Amino acid sequence: MKLFFQALAKLLGGMAAIALLLFLPAGTYKYPNGLLFCALLFIPMLFVGTVLFVKDKQLLSKRLNSKEKEGTQKVVVLISAVEFVGCFISAGFDFRCGWTHVPKAVVIIAAVLFFCAYLLYAEVMRENAYLSRTVEVQENQKVVSTGLYGIVRHPMYAATLLLFTMMPIVLGSWVALAFMIPLPFILAKRIHNEEKVLKTGLDGYEEYMKKVKYRMIPFIW
C-alpha cells in the first residue's frame, strides 16, 4: 500500500504541476493542445504504472526513485527541470497571445510519434529489469544486449528524446520547441557520465560498448 500511495502521489503531483504550468499561463483550461498533451502523457502513464504495480513492484519502485547521487547527474536533472518548466510556461503564453501556430496535421503527426515513443519506453522497461531513473549499478546487475539494446546502448534516452521533442509540437507552440534545443546535449552529458559509472562497476559493459557502437541514435551517435 505504501508503494501504491507513493505512485498515486507522484501521478497526482505531476498532473497538478503540469496543469498549473500550462493552463495558468494560458489563462484558461480551454486549451485544446494542452488537454491533448495531458491525455497523451497521463493515460499511458497510468496504464504502465498499473501494469508495473501488478506485475513488477520492484521495477515500479526503482522508477519512482529519482534522487540522484552523482554530482554531474544532479546538474543535468536541474537543467532539465528548468528546460521543461520554460517549455510548459511558454506554450501556455503562446496559446494566450497567439505568437505562433502549428498546423493541425503537424500536431497529429507529433501526437502519433509521442505515443510511439511511449511504446518504445514500455518495451525498454520490459527488456531491462534493472532500469532505474538514477545512475547506479545495482546488485547482481547484468548487461542487457538484446532487443532494442542490440541497436543502441541507451534506447530509453532515444525514446526520451523523441517523446520530449514532440511535446512542444503537440502543445502547438514553436516558441516552446526552442526550449528543447539543448535536450540532445543534456542527454549526451548524462550518457557520458552514466557510461563512465557502468564501465567501472558493471562487468561486461566495456565489451558491450564495443559490440553496440551507437549510444542513442542509430548510425549517427
pLDDT in single tens digits along all 221 residues of the chain? 676 677 777 778 888 999 999 999 999 999 999 999 999 988 887 877 777 666 666 666 666 655 556 566 677 777 888 888 999 999 999 999 999 999 999 999 999 999 999 888 888 877 776 665 555 555 557 777 788 888 888 888 888 899 889 999 999 999 999 999 888 888 888 888 888 888 887 788 888 888 888 898 888 88
Torsion of CA 197, 200, 201, 207, to 10 degrees: 100
Give the cell for residue 123: 518495451
pLDDT for res 202: 78
H-helix segments, the chain:
2-26, 32-55, 57-64, 71-97, 104-127, 155-170, 174-178, 183-201, 205-211
* Residue 30: per-residue pLDDT: 92
What domains can be seen in the chain, in order of their start residue?
2-211 (1.20.120.1630)
H or E element in which residue 160 lies? helix 155-170
In the chain, the amino acid numbered 50 is T
Residue 137's pLDDT is 56
The CA-based angle 5-15-49, given to 5 degrees, is 50
Question: Residue 127 carries which side chain, given as an amino acid letter?
Answer: E
Residue 26 and residue 171 in contact, taking contact as beta carbons nearer than 8 Å: no
| Alpha-carbon distances of 11 from 40, 44, 101, 143, 188, rounded to whole Å | 14, 12, 30, 30, 27
- What is the per-residue pLDDT for 87? 92
- CA dist 128 and 201 (Å) reads 17
Predicted pLDDT of residue 63? 60
